[in-house]
């Protein structure tokens, strides 16, 4: 068994308006089921010969593997997102939300609207850090697929029906409100602090051209605007990522 089950990250009996029975059922049946499926798929993939396996079989197994793996990761994040007082956002986290969404209230409205939109569709509402761009964004992920490569989700809301039907029936709005009341912001902030340490992808470095004079995109633009001839020589310029272009 390659992947191991994680302990339940919240204490279900302490939650406000969400029953322990719902959380325990969710953890055992849905999270546990995804982990079991993931291990079965992993073993199947390890057994088969990649050179002789039909492409459609390999493609299906890899799609199922990514969905099961993502389901386990996001379920662990979901349970770790619960257990606190959702109204008390710590200062650093509040500042980050205000910086990237305008205000905490604006972030909250966006996140709730995104979750509501998923109620008929099923999926995950995620608050995600983008190392490449250096900001937070609300995202949805359906079919358990992580929607943004390289993004680091720090808060997850499960909008699959199994996450709330037992307590809330079809009332997704009441479930979302309960989730928001139980967010463990101190843990979210801890994950945010870890996420911002992740370096963005390195820019392309071409050491072989280190001695070629480089000018910036802005300088080329200024030359063109001024009518300065850009000719008779190879012009290299450097964009914001440090890449050299012809």
Q: How far apart are CA 147 and CA 218, in angstroms?
A: 33
Nearest Cα residue to 88 out of 187, 193, 18: 187
- For the chain, how long is the longest CA-to-CA vector? 76
Q: At what angle do helices 104-118 and 172-181 cross, to 10 degrees?
A: 140
Say whether residue 76 binds Fe ion (CB under 5 A). Answer: no
Compare residues 76 and 158 and give the one whose CB is closer to Fe ion.
158
Minimum distance from residue 90 beta carbon to Fe ion (Å): 27
Stretch that binds Fe ion, among 26-34, 100-108, 123-131, 173-181 (CB under 5 A): 26-34
157 and 73 Cβ atoms separated by less than 8 Å: no
Say whether residue 158 binds Fe ion (CB under 5 A). Answer: yes
Compare residues 158 and 184 and give the one whose CB is closer to Fe ion.
158
Minimum distance from residue 26 beta carbon to Fe ion (Å): 6
Q: By CB under 5 A, what part of segment 162-181 binds Fe ion?
A: 163
Residue pointed to by tokens 């949805």: 140
Which alpha helices (DSSP H) does 31-85 contain, by range? 32-47, 55-80
* SS3 call for 118: helix
Stretch that binds Fe ion, among 16-24, 104-112, 160-168, 177-185 (CB under 5 A): 160-168
Pairing of strands 215-216, 124-130: unpaired
Query: Using the rule CB under 5 A, which residue among 30, 53, 66, 171 binds Fe ion?
Result: 30
Minimum distance from residue 71 beta carbon to Fe ion (Å): 7
Say whether residue 25 binds Fe ion (CB under 5 A). Answer: no
Stretch that binds Fe ion, among 90-98, 128-136, 154-162, 209-217 (CB under 5 A): 154-162
Compare residues 78 and 107 and give the one whose CB is closer to Fe ion.
78
Q: How far apart are CA 214 and CA 178, in angstroms?
A: 56
Stretch that binds Fe ion, among 29-37, 109-117, 121-129, 193-201 (CB under 5 A): 29-37
* SS3 call for 212: coil
The footprint of Fe ion (CB under 5 A) covers 30, 158, 160, 163
């Amino acid at each position: 068994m390659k992947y191991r089950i994680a302990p339940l990250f919240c204490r279900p009996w302490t939650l406000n308006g969400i029953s322990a029975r719902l959380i325990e059922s969710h953890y055992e049946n849905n999270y546990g089921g995804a982990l079991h499926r993931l291990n079965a798929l992993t073993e199947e993939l390890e057994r088969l010969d990649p050179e002789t396996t039909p492409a459609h079989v390999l493609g299906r197994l890899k799609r199922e593997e990514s969905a099961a793996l993502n389901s386990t990761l996001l379920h662990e994040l979901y349970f770790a997102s619960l257990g606190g007082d959702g109204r008390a956002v710590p200062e650093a986290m509040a500042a980050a939300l205000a910086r990237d969404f305008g205000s905490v209230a604006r972030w909250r409205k966006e996140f709730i609207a995104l979750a509501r939109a998923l109620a008929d569709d099923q999926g995950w509402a995620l608050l995600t850090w983008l190392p490449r761009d250096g900001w937070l964004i609300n995202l949805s992920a359906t079919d358990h697929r992580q929607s943004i490569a390289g993004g680091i989700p720090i808060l997850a809301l499960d909008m699959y029906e199994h996450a709330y039907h037992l307590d809330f029936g079809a009332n997704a709005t009441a479930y979302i409100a309960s989730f928001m009341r139980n967010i463990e912001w101190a843990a979210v902030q801890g994950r945010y602090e870890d996420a911002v340490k992740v370096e963005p992808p390195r820019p392309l470095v071409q050491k072989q051209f280190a001695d070629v004079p480089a000018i910036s995109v802005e300088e080329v633009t200024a030359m063109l605007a001024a009518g300065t001839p850009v000719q008779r020589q190879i012009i290299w310029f450097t964009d914001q990522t440090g890449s050299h272009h012809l």
